[in-house]
Amino acid sequence: GVGEVKVRIRNNSDGLFWNESSLAWVGSEFWNVASGSTSWQMSISTAAWSGLSGSSFTINSKAYDKVTQPSGANVEINYSTITFWIDTVPPDSVLTKQEYNAFVGTPWYGNDITAVTGTSYDADGIEKTEIWIKKEDFDYAWNGSTWTATASELWVQSGAQDVISWSYSVSTDAWTTGERYRVKSRAMDTCDYDPNYQTTYSDKVFIFDNAPPVSGITKPLNNTGYGSIATLTGTADDINQGTWPS
């Protein structure tokens, strides 16, 4: 029967080996003793991966049987080998449209918004990017086809997976003139287990306005004769623009 299993963890970048007992990477080859036998496990401190994001590691396991005589246990020769990598750095995404505060203190107004666009980056690859579109002054979020009453985050995929530059189409009919909207984006990397999500979202606010203003002429009067006129007067208003006039 199986007596014990030992595990070797090697950092492929510098050739050091992890010693779980001393919680340190060491220069000499080191085999950690796992708990269990036919089904085994080995706990590893998270300190092992500190500062090593992007590094790859090779793990070997070798089993020993319970033979004691005459020279001790039989040891597995062709032991198991796997290679994996660690990525603890979250990806990043940036909204390239819509704009906000093009001039400090001045919100950006848009009248032809048919897409939300951006870029995403991670050293080890982007799995997907999601966006959250919400009404700034009401508890509504865009679910991909309509507005849903919710105060919670509601993320929709921005487009195809595994892309750096992305674009999410939104019909102009989705927007109401004179309302404020907030758009956030977050990227997820390609880690197969416990993938990293962007922690600080890209965040933009804009006001939608596609209602034209109206103007009128008060002087001269229509169909009226004047001997002379030095000033033309009138009025103008953006009465159809809603809560947040431009």
Q: Please name which of 129, 122, 133 lies closest in space to residue 183, comparing C-alpha atoms.
A: 133
pLDDT at 179: 86
Average pLDDT over the chain, rounded to an integer? 89
What are the residues facing 82 on neighbouring strands? Answer: 59
pLDDT at 102: 43
Quote the tokens at residue 42.
Answer: 């080995």
Spatial separation of the C-alpha atoms in residues 31 and 21, rounded to whole Å: 10
Q: Please name which of 182, 206, 30 lies closest in space to residue 112, comparing C-alpha atoms.
A: 206
pLDDT digit string, tens, across residues 19-58 = 999 999 999 999 999 999 889 999 999 899 999 988 999 9
Confidence bin at 107 (pLDDT 50/70/90): low
- Is the pLDDT at 220 greater than 70? The verdict is yes
Question: Across residues 65-91, what is the average pLDDT?
Answer: 91
pLDDT at 114: 86
Confidence bin at 103 (pLDDT 50/70/90): very low
Computed from CA positions of residues 91, 136, 102, 113, in that sequence, does the dihedral angle turn out positive or negative? positive
Q: What percent of the chain has pLDDT over 90?
A: 63
Spatial separation of the C-alpha atoms in residues 66 and 160, rounded to whole Å: 54
Query: What kind and span of H or E run contains 11?
Result: strand 2-11
pLDDT at 145: 93
Confidence bin at 105 (pLDDT 50/70/90): low
pLDDT at 99: 63
Question: Across residues 80-87, what is the average pLDDT?
Answer: 93
Longest dimension (CA), the chain: 129
Q: Please name which of 61, 52, 53 lies closest in space to residue 7, comparing C-alpha atoms.
A: 61
Question: Across residues 189-210, what is the average pLDDT?
Answer: 89
DSSP letter string, 186-223: EEEE--SSSPPBPSS-EEEEEEE--PPPEEEEEESPTT
Confidence bin at 67 (pLDDT 50/70/90): very high
